[in-house]
Structure 1
Amino acid sequence: MNNSQFDKIKNGKGFIAALDQSGGSTPKALADYGVPEDSYSTEEEMFDRVHQMRTRIITSPAFSADHILGVILFEQTMDRKIEGKYTADYLADEGIVPFLKVDKGLAEQENGVQLMKPIHDLEDTLRRANERNIFGTKMRSVIHEPNTSGIKDVVEQQFEIGKQIINSNLVPIIEPEVDIHSSNKEKSEEILRDELIKNLNNLSEDENVMLKLSIPTKANTYKELAEHPRVVRVVALSGGYTRDEANEKLKENEGLIASFSRALAADLNANQSDEEFNEALKSAIDTIYDASVNKN
């Protein structure tokens, strides 16, 4: 593990950019960016276009280590290059910490939650992540209802796989997202917090994780998690909130920093001039950074 990267993630000021849209979510991400589905005809062309989008973001002068602590990458992005360097190496050289999305998507809903699909090639993926100088990983489940049994299953699955990731000398970002549209979000968050604490308490002193959570309905619900000795950092997903909404909610929560995807890229468009693009990205980064470091 890279100790300077660990220190940056644990103690640095800024936020983590999520640029990890996968095959299923890529068409929408491209459409939002002004690249309609009829502008590419194969999956390879689609991934070429999304890599162009990500490259434009990452190489923008607005995208710097002064505000960005880390970036979550899609597997294909890890294996592609930016300005002649593998993406993680490019980021590391810029002082930004690279993470890798490792989950394979969500299973069907059961007991009010969606577990992760099996990750059959996890060991191989983790080996390649180390070869590509990745610092940590991310994997996502979703909680729809305050079902104690279902939420327990989500957290236990996350920590079981998380320990495999730790054993590969990587830091896992555990992401049990609570759907912001669920009918009793606050109750789900209380159950989730308690299950996370139980599992965190079972980690040994050399086992550390990060948490990526929906911004809670009740401010500072996750403050205890942010202060837990086994938690490197707690980051928040925007989860469908607009950037303004997400920023305002984030400011109310001590110990949480952003890890936004849609809320980061919402104003970016393929047809913008470089000046327009960089200005829109800078505005987004400045407001997300402010919400991450300046609390109400």
Structure 2
Amino acid sequence: MASTSASLLKSSPVLDKTEFLKGQALRHPSVSLVRCHPAPSLGFSIRASYADELVKTAKTIASPGRGILAMDESNATCGKRLDSIGLENTEANRQAYRTLLVSAPGLGKFISGAILFEETLYQSTVEGKKIVDVLTEQGIVPGIKVDKGLVPLAGSNNESWCQGLDGLASRSAAYYKQGARFAKWRTVVSIPNGPSALAVKEAAWGLARYAAISQDNGLVPIVEPEILLDGEHGIDRTFEVAKKVWAEVFFYLAENNVMFEGILLKPSMVTPGAECKDRVAPETVAAYTLNLLKSRIPPAVPGIMFLSGGQSEVEATLNLNAMNQSPNPWHVSFSYARALQNTCLKTWGGRPENVKAAQDALLLRAQANSLAQLGKYTGEGESEEAKEGMFVKGYSY
């Protein structure tokens, strides 16, 4: 399967193999040097003992009517969230907010996985119960953010690369032992900055190495090549860039013997730039995005968990719903952070007496996106606040 995928991708007109060798500036001497001996019965460089578990975990997360709650904001980013409601960035306040999220009654009906920051993975609720255990009891698979953030990419057009491969194997093994069963690595591509060929290849290579290491340690990798919303470009430009990025990502995934049945993809939807004057309807976003999926994503990938990328809560839900109006070979769902948490956070405001109302707001958004995953969301009764955009230029965390 992986070798077949690699063969197909090598023949793609978007991928000129000579370009990978000419002027290569990535931090690896040769793809062939990182190949491991494949498991005899699988043909993949993963531990055979994890293969069935990886597939099962991926399918559990990609289950009908459910998606991912991304609550993996770093402590610094979480601090910005708390500051927006007048709270100091302390561990106690972060713990109180995270407790509110994971203990919302019935959350597991709409949420299948929760991405945690490292502090949260080892943290307990304010009542003293391990957060991992609270999630598991709700039927929610615990996940972990494993990248170490974005840093400037030397030789590029003011672009970035994602660090964190050093020590990833040992960290992943420890995360698995702590109860995590999937991982997340976010890298970004900026359209106004090119994107340069170097930045695209760096993003694809980093995602592929991370995915291989994660699978080798029992964690289903969420592959997240985010196309930032920054820019005035139209939807056609986004489509062209995403085609190139996704092609290179899956080329390198195949080169690294990553098992496609044991990954989840977390891409951006194909939309115009946030500053583009020509806005498009959800049906247009759906048509472009599904077309991109069909041309670039192997059907073996069990789940496409879209990020919201600064869209409003309602916009992200409407676009997801539009994509589920027609049959497709994937589980097309969500992995939202702000698009699930924004109203919840504001409703809470750091006040204990507002916890239930805040949890109700979270459940309302989770249910709306659950309906969207099933293609049954109508948008009726949404508040004006939920329609407010959340785009932040150059967003990183």
Fold match (TM-score > 0.5): yes
Specify whether residues 141 and 25 from structure 1 end up closer, same or farther in structure 2 by C-alpha distance, changes over 3 A only: same
Deviation string for 1:43-92 (max 9, x for gaps)? xxx232112101111101152x2110100000000011235443223212
Determine if the alignment matches structure 1 residue 293 to structure 2 residue 363. Answer: no
How far does residue 125 in structure 1 lie from its aligned partner after superposition? 1.6
- Tell me what 1:262 maps to: 338
Q: In the alignment, is the contact (CA less than 8 A) between 2:211 and 2:253 conserved in 1?
A: no
How far does residue 4 in structure 1 lie from its aligned partner after superposition? 4.9
Give the SS at the match of 1:24.
helix
Size of the alignment, in residue pairs?
286
Q: In the alignment, is the contact (CA less than 8 A) between 1:78 and 1:100 conserved in 2?
A: yes
Distance in 2 (alpha carbons) for counterparts of 1:223 and 1:112: 32
Q: In the alignment, is the contact (CA less than 8 A) between 1:111 and 1:149 conserved in 2?
A: no
When Rg is computed on C-alpha atoms for both structures, the one with the higher figure is: 2
- Report the aligned-residue RMSD: 2.4
The structure with the greater share of residues assigned to strand is: 1
- Tell me what 1:101 maps to: 145
Summarize the alignment of residues 127-166 of structure 1 with structure 2, pairs less than 5 Å apart: 127-145=173-191, 146-166=195-215
- Residue 168 of structure 2, aligned match among 122, 145, 152: 122
Give the SS at the match of 2:362.
helix
Determine if the alignment matches structure 1 residue 60 to structure 2 residue 131. Answer: no
Q: In the alignment, is the contact (CA less than 8 A) between 1:140 and 1:174 conserved in 2?
A: yes
Summarize the alignment of residues 245-260 of structure 1 with structure 2, pairs less than 5 Å apart: 245-254=315-324, 255=330, 256-260=332-336
Determine if the alignment matches structure 1 residue 240 to structure 2 residue 331. Answer: no
The alignment's TM-score, normalised by the length of structure 2, stands at 0.66
Specify whether residues 156 and 137 from structure 1 end up closer, same or farther in structure 2 by C-alpha distance, changes over 3 A only: same
Specify whether residues 203 and 267 from structure 1 end up closer, same or farther in structure 2 by C-alpha distance, changes over 3 A only: same
- Tell me what 2:33 maps to: none
Determine if the alignment matches structure 1 residue 175 to structure 2 residue 224. Answer: yes
How far does residue 27 in structure 1 lie from its aligned partner after superposition? 1.5
Q: In the alignment, is the contact (CA less than 8 A) between 2:116 and 2:145 conserved in 1?
A: yes
Deviation string for 1:106-136 (max 9, x for gaps)? 0115346421024433233212111112111
Give the SS at the match of 1:169.
coil
- Tell me what 1:43 maps to: none
Given residue 192 of structure 1, which amino acid in structure 2 is its aligned partner? V
Specify whether residues 225 and 50 from structure 1 end up closer, same or farther in structure 2 by C-alpha distance, changes over 3 A only: farther
- Residue 216 of structure 1, aligned match among 252, 261, 270: 270
Give the SS at the match of 1:17.
strand
Give the SS at the match of 2:105.
coil
Q: In the alignment, is the contact (CA less than 8 A) between 2:208 and 2:256 conserved in 1?
A: no
Which ranges of structure 1 fall in alignment gaps of 5 or more residues? 41-45
Q: In the alignment, is the contact (CA less than 8 A) between 1:99 and 1:138 conserved in 2?
A: yes
Give the SS at the match of 1:244.
helix
Distance in 2 (alpha carbons) for counterparts of 1:79 and 1:294: 36
* Greater Cα offset, 152-161 or 141-150: 141-150
Given residue 187 of structure 2, which amino acid in structure 1 is its aligned partner? S
Distance in 1 (alpha carbons) for counterparts of 2:373 and 2:145: 22
Q: In the alignment, is the contact (CA less than 8 A) between 2:182 and 2:221 conserved in 1?
A: yes
Give the SS at the match of 2:266.
strand
Q: In the alignment, is the contact (CA less than 8 A) between 1:62 and 1:278 conserved in 2?
A: no
Determine if the alignment matches structure 1 residue 69 to structure 2 residue 112. Answer: yes
Distance in 2 (alpha carbons) for counterparts of 1:170 and 1:281: 27
Distance in 2 (alpha carbons) for counterparts of 1:60 and 1:89: 14
Distance in 1 (alpha carbons) for counterparts of 2:109 and 2:311: 25
Give the SS at the match of 1:77.
helix
Q: In the alignment, is the contact (CA less than 8 A) between 2:145 and 2:183 conserved in 1?
A: yes
Identity of aligned residues (%): 24
Determine if the alignment matches structure 1 residue 280 to structure 2 residue 361. Answer: yes
Summarize the alignment of residues 11-22 of structure 1 with structure 2, pairs less than 5 Å apart: 11-22=63-74
The alignment's TM-score, normalised by the length of structure 1, stands at 0.87
- Tell me what 2:299 maps to: 228
How far does residue 6 in structure 1 lie from its aligned partner after superposition? 3.7
Specify whether residues 76 and 273 from structure 1 end up closer, same or farther in structure 2 by C-alpha distance, changes over 3 A only: same
Specify whether residues 156 and 150 from structure 1 end up closer, same or farther in structure 2 by C-alpha distance, changes over 3 A only: same
